[in-house]
A and B are shown apart, each in its own frame.
Chain A
């Protein structure tokens, strides 16, 4: 697979990561849900991005922007309405049977809710060994036990706890168990779906540091979905901002924070409170008026125009193209 052949698409663009070849390419992906009455909820609408090997791509947005649906569709937990996701060049929605099962060993997912993501009737060994059991690589029961203990140590838990049940652990510890399970089959790529948003502040840093250490030592690639922009900035090489199922901006992370092009990104960044009274006192805050429109009936043209302080008639008439406004900095705004 060569890099040059896959970055070109029919409409001629796709934002690519700065370093390394792309491991994952999402190409015009859409996922609509029927909601009855002949209406559809456009959870993800024409999303394109690439993730380079070894990179962390952050995806941020507010609730209902489609970021979790995007993550699940990329994992093929949902079948897409349109578009492709290519993992190492193969369209994952075309894979079947043994090939699909093999793909499941290469992509893994970490979930948001440390309480709901572990089966309460399994003990820790059975939870962490589940991927080994599914793929028939657990080996003898002694070997299975040894592998589980190794994984527990990898995520900073004590092997003695292997026979305990999820409800005996704290939120942060459960999240580590979820990470150990994701790592059991040595995946190359992990979708982290809000892995820290349910955790206490002092625990979040533990989990984020663990994810970063694992990335370094195991050469992992992450798609990191979150609504906490400070944390996304910290962990990501590049950041994608979503609004109402659409991608509105994508850039290298310090560039995005220093120089946001899209008015939504600007508002989002200014809304985040910073733990420093001095900065807060001086900050010019853009307070958006109104609420998020429904993704069932999104506004015409630019989805953000109903709340945008700079909206013009053109924004209602015509959907802005997602274009490269600066080297490696993409935005979907007529005026960026």
Chain B
């Protein structure tokens, strides 16, 4: 470096260059923000392992019961409590039902509950929170109080109350979820929007004459997407776990339908003798929770602008 500075300088180099104001160039290719987020997510190995697991789970939930040679509900009292074998891949339960089919049927129920929770969160939570934050004032106060009152009712109590009028089933659980499951999301969206609506780009849009709905749907909600998605990765596993837990207690899915919760309950009595009956559903619940957690963490990191540079 030093040499090149002093040694190579010759007189000819001291000719004045004609000055052109530098072009306002920007180096590098254009990267939209979402692609940036995606790239950071993909580079996070743990999060990607979570994604791969969840995709596999979804695929198996669809094809698992189909590829199995046995259905999930037929009792076969000759073949009860069998260990995993080439015929019954995950073994059978105390009624001789095929555990492989039942596991993936359970996965179906878990994913449907998770999906329902996500839809409720997105539709009710985001809209409710969006209105609270955007309209503000008296409306916000009343809606916020209402959500606080709803939040104070324990979820278990809601389910039990619903059971007074309804049969216990997956749908009861989803109904109970739609009563209280979206409140956290609505608070998060409300907080974000309260913060964003005083941002100068929102003021700019207002000064240009943008309508309320344009501001809400073009400016506010898209910029809340990060926290919304991260919140979803928390709501969904907690809904899945609630379903398994309630089914375990007998308040949810009923036999012969298969849920991971009921399967664990069925296996509880004799788990020392037939540990695989407990092992498969327990393992799947744990792995599903873990997968959502690492995926959620990865998403949060990917969205966090502080880690950007």
Verify if A234 is at the interface (C-beta below 8 Å from B): no
> Would you call B33 and A104 a contact (CB within 8 A)?
no
Which of A112, A118, A156 contacts B24, CB < 8 Å? A156
Contact indicator per residue, chain A 115-134, by CB within 8 Å of chain B (1) or not (0):
01111110100000011001
In the assembled complex, the Cα of A270 lies from the Cα of B265 at a distance in Å of: 82
Q: Which of A217-272 contact B (CB under 8 A)?
A: none
**Distance in Å: Cβ of A76 to nearest Cβ of chain B:** 8
Interface residues of A toward B: which range?
A: 35 or more
Verify if B18 is at the interface (C-beta below 8 Å from A): no
Q: Which of B216-248 contact A (CB under 8 A)?
A: 218-219, 222-223
Q: Which of A251-309 contact B (CB under 8 A)?
A: none
**Residues A165 and B32 in contact in the complex (CB < 8 Å), given A104-B207, A121-B222:** yes
Q: Which of B189-222 contact A (CB under 8 A)?
A: 199-201, 203-211, 214, 218-219, 222
Verify if A67 is at the interface (C-beta below 8 Å from B): no
**Residues A120 and B214 in contact in the complex (CB < 8 Å), given A105-B209, A108-B207, A111-B204:** no
Which A residues touch B28, using CB under 8 A? Answer: 168
> Would you call B207 and A134 a contact (CB within 8 A)?
no
**Distance in Å: Cβ of A248 to nearest Cβ of chain B:** 27
**Distance in Å: Cβ of A152 to nearest Cβ of chain B:** 10
Q: Which of A134-180 contact B (CB under 8 A)?
A: 134-135, 156-158, 161, 163-165, 167-169, 173, 178
In the assembled complex, the Cα of A119 lies from the Cα of B208 at a distance in Å of: 14
**Residues A169 and B26 in contact in the complex (CB < 8 Å), given A100-B209, A121-B33, A131-B208:** yes
**Distance in Å: Cβ of B147 to nearest Cβ of chain A:** 22
**Distance in Å: Cβ of B78 to nearest Cβ of chain A:** 62
Which B residues touch A112, using CB under 8 A? Answer: 200
Verify if A185 is at the interface (C-beta below 8 Å from B): yes
Which of B24, B33, B201, B210 contacts A173, CB < 8 Å? B24
In the assembled complex, the Cα of A82 lies from the Cα of B232 at a distance in Å of: 46
**Residues A130 and B26 in contact in the complex (CB < 8 Å), given A109-B204, A121-B33, A165-B32:** no
Q: Which of B1-49 contact A (CB under 8 A)?
A: 23-26, 28, 30-34
**Distance in Å: Cβ of A131 to nearest Cβ of chain B:** 4
> Would you call B26 and A134 a contact (CB within 8 A)?
no
Which A residues touch B23, using CB under 8 A? Answer: 158
> Would you call A167 and B30 a contact (CB within 8 A)?
no
**Residues A163 and B204 in contact in the complex (CB < 8 Å), given A134-B210, A173-B24:** no
Which B residues touch A167, using CB under 8 A? Answer: 33
> Would you call A116 and B200 a contact (CB within 8 A)?
yes
Which B residues touch A118, using CB under 8 A? Answer: 201, 204
> Would you call A163 and B210 a contact (CB within 8 A)?
no
**Residues A75 and B207 in contact in the complex (CB < 8 Å), given A111-B200, A163-B30:** yes
Contact indicator per residue, chain B 248-283, by CB within 8 Å of chain A (1) or not (0):
000000000000000000000000000000000000
> Would you call A123 and B209 a contact (CB within 8 A)?
no
> Would you call A134 and B214 a contact (CB within 8 A)?
yes
Which B residues touch A111, using CB under 8 A? Answer: 200, 203-204
Which of B26, B204, B207 contacts A168, CB < 8 Å? B26
> Would you call A77 and B207 a contact (CB within 8 A)?
yes
Which B residues touch A107, using CB under 8 A? Answer: 207
> Would you call A134 and B209 a contact (CB within 8 A)?
yes
Which B residues touch A14, using CB under 8 A? Answer: none
- The residue of chain B having its C-beta at the shortest distance from the C-beta of A156 within the complex is B24
Q: Which of A166-222 contact B (CB under 8 A)?
A: 167-169, 173, 178, 181, 185
In the assembled complex, the Cα of A224 lies from the Cα of B203 at a distance in Å of: 17
In the assembled complex, the Cα of A177 lies from the Cα of B273 at a distance in Å of: 72
In the assembled complex, the Cα of A164 lies from the Cα of B24 at a distance in Å of: 13
> Would you call B208 and A165 a contact (CB within 8 A)?
no
In the assembled complex, the Cα of A119 lies from the Cα of B199 at a distance in Å of: 9
> Would you call A101 and B209 a contact (CB within 8 A)?
yes
Which B residues touch A168, using CB under 8 A? Answer: 26, 28, 30-31
Which A residues touch B219, using CB under 8 A? Answer: 119
The listed residue with most A CB atoms (<10 A of its CB), out of B24, B205, B206, B223, is: B24
Verify if A113 is at the interface (C-beta below 8 Å from B): yes
**Distance in Å: Cβ of B215 to nearest Cβ of chain A:** 10
In the assembled complex, the Cα of A101 lies from the Cα of B207 at a distance in Å of: 10
In the assembled complex, the Cα of A167 lies from the Cα of B34 at a distance in Å of: 12
Verify if A28 is at the interface (C-beta below 8 Å from B): no
Verify if A72 is at the interface (C-beta below 8 Å from B): yes
For the A-B complex with A117-B203, A163-B30 known, give 18 more contacts whose Cβ atoms are closer than 8 Å: A77-B206, A77-B207, A101-B209, A107-B207, A111-B203, A117-B200, A117-B204, A119-B219, A120-B223, A121-B34, A121-B222, A131-B209, A134-B211, A156-B24, A164-B26, A165-B33, A169-B26, A181-B204
6 nearest A-B residue pairs (beta carbon) = A104-B209, A117-B200, A111-B200, A116-B200, A109-B207, A131-B208
- 10 A-B pairs with CB atoms under 8 Å apart are A77-B206, A108-B207, A117-B204, A121-B34, A134-B209, A156-B24, A163-B30, A165-B31, A169-B26, A181-B208
B-to-A contact residues, CB < 8 Å: 23-26, 28, 30-34, 199-201, 203-211, 214, 218-219, 222-223
